[in-house]
Chain A
């Protein structure tokens, strides 16, 4: 019987020829990612207590994105501790104000096909877009990894989601994943890997693939993965000279579930409060005025997301009273959007550009909601209270839908603007 790409990566990382779902194994980790929130500040004291340091500083990257730039002295203190800690541990791959922790390691070429990565943040599943197995861990688990370079895991089953056909205009990867989250529910993939495949997925660029893997945690998954292909190899060729050996699923691999979806049938979707699986068609919603529209986060602040929003708002102005916030997911994205005019289009339409950081996504800074306010966002989570007041509402949608809603001052189907 064949193996899935996830099983092959785990087998390689555990030094076995094959592994099967349900087995508990110890795996060697190729890359560790931490951010400023769950990272050094929650680990440094315990590492000292154990009287040891990081097992291999070359394999560790730290990205400060939650508290940058600092809003108060507590956050400034956390950042100071983070900088000091990476310096003492000899960690070279430290990135501050360069972007979000799930995007920067991909851009820097640290995330490689066939490798095992662990990240100290729930959206660490993002790395699967390049064909790595990227698993999220909490801080204390991470401490164990930093000390030993290994961790125990249960080999998960894999769900295969096959997308076939062409995406209709005005829809994108965000609509695909919202569709899947609605299908599977918040815990439909708990403890499992979700592998995306099919010709629709093959045609997506890296920015769009990231949306799929990033939001697999919203269905409880251990991680999401897409088998690497020419798109990935070409992307990495520009970014790293480190060699890697990609892995692929066998044709006779065993899946716990196979879900087939037709892209042609997709319409712009929106996840309503307060859960990412509370998904409706944008066109079917009642009139819902918005005070804030946010393009941002690891999910929805990439170059393709900014460009999609720019296509909608080009030559138009956002509705009066709407705060249209754009937080690029990295400095590289900001630079590219500034260079090719995308940023100018957004600013002309009335956008406020935020630093390349997490910011409002998790209610950390720059764009916190008041009670009774409503925000439409290209982010990934809309749990009650996440973006500020528990009495505020967050609707999740594609960048095109967010941009169209900013123009209309209420949540609308982006086809209203794109088909004119």
Chain B
């Protein structure tokens, strides 16, 4: 995980649900294919407009609804650098971490507008709004969550753990 994530914000409202992020009719597709439809339910043009490195900003309860991991996966595979929201639905939050997609709970998320340039310092949980010259304090991620993010997700994290245990055994 780089120390700072910098990108352009796309701002959404409250209760952005998984049927809007990754509609059920695409569930049969792979994550990469799903990314071409990311958040199509809210803005059909978004998949075309979103650029690698962009940051999605939501209101409260971002990612509510289904446990489908395709929702954070579609966002990640669209190249999004991080998601910042006032609050997240529990399963979405875990899924994003497991996929290595940084997610930050930030009470002032509503002050961000689409197009703002943001810089996120994950370690300290700080979101700088470069366009507005302000900084917001987000909830810092617990140590074990940072470990999984730093490894790039749960799979590489487990890979390392299994290798460690094997070495111990040998």
Which residues of A are interface residues toward B (Cβ below 8 A)?
Answer: 24, 37-38, 42, 46, 49-52, 66-67, 72, 74-75, 78, 120-122, 124, 136-141, 143-144, 147, 152, 186-187, 190-191, 220, 222, 275, 362-364, 368, 381, 383-386, 388, 390
Instruction: Please name all residues of chain B whose beta carbon is closer than 8 Å to the beta carbon of A137 when the two chains form the complex.
Output: 67, 91, 94
Residue of B nearest to A275 (CB): B15
Contact B158 A143, beta carbon cutoff 8 Å: yes
B75 beta carbon closer than 8 Å to chain A: no
Contact B41 A385, beta carbon cutoff 8 Å: yes
Instruction: Please name all residues of chain B whose beta carbon is closer than 8 Å to the beta carbon of A37 when the two chains form the complex.
Output: 27, 68
Which residues of B are interface residues toward A (Cβ below 8 A)?
Answer: 15, 17-20, 23-25, 27-29, 41, 60-61, 64-69, 72, 87, 89-91, 94-95, 98-99, 142, 144, 153-155, 158-159, 162
Contact A122 B65, beta carbon cutoff 8 Å: yes
CA distance A385 to B68 in the complex (A): 15
A-B pairs with beta carbons under 8 A, tally: 120
Instruction: Please name all residues of chain B whose beta carbon is closer than 8 Å to the beta carbon of A384 when the two chains form the complex.
Output: 19-20, 41
Contact A38 B41, beta carbon cutoff 8 Å: no
- What distance in Å separates the Cβ of B95 from its nearest Cβ neighbour in chain A? 4
Instruction: Please name all residues of chain A whose beta carbon is closer than 8 Å to the beta carbon of B162 when the two chains form the complex.
Output: 50-52, 147
Within 8 Å by CB of B154, from A52, A144, A390, lies: A144
Known: A37-B27, A385-B24. 7 other contacts (CB 8 A): A50-B162, A143-B158, A144-B98, A147-B162, A187-B61, A222-B90, A390-B41
What 5 pairs between A and B have smallest CB-CB spacing? A138-B95, A140-B98, A122-B67, A383-B19, A187-B61
Instruction: Please name all residues of chain B whose beta carbon is closer than 8 Å to the beta carbon of A388 when the two chains form the complex.
Output: 25
Instruction: Please name all residues of chain A whose beta carbon is closer than 8 Å to the beta carbon of B29 when the two chains form the complex.
Output: 74
Chosen A-B contacts, 10 in total, with CB atoms closer than 8 Å, are A50-B159, A120-B67, A138-B72, A138-B95, A144-B98, A362-B24, A363-B23, A368-B25, A383-B65, A385-B24
Contact A140 B61, beta carbon cutoff 8 Å: no
Instruction: Please name all residues of chain B whose beta carbon is closer than 8 Å to the beta carbon of A46 when the two chains form the complex.
Output: 155
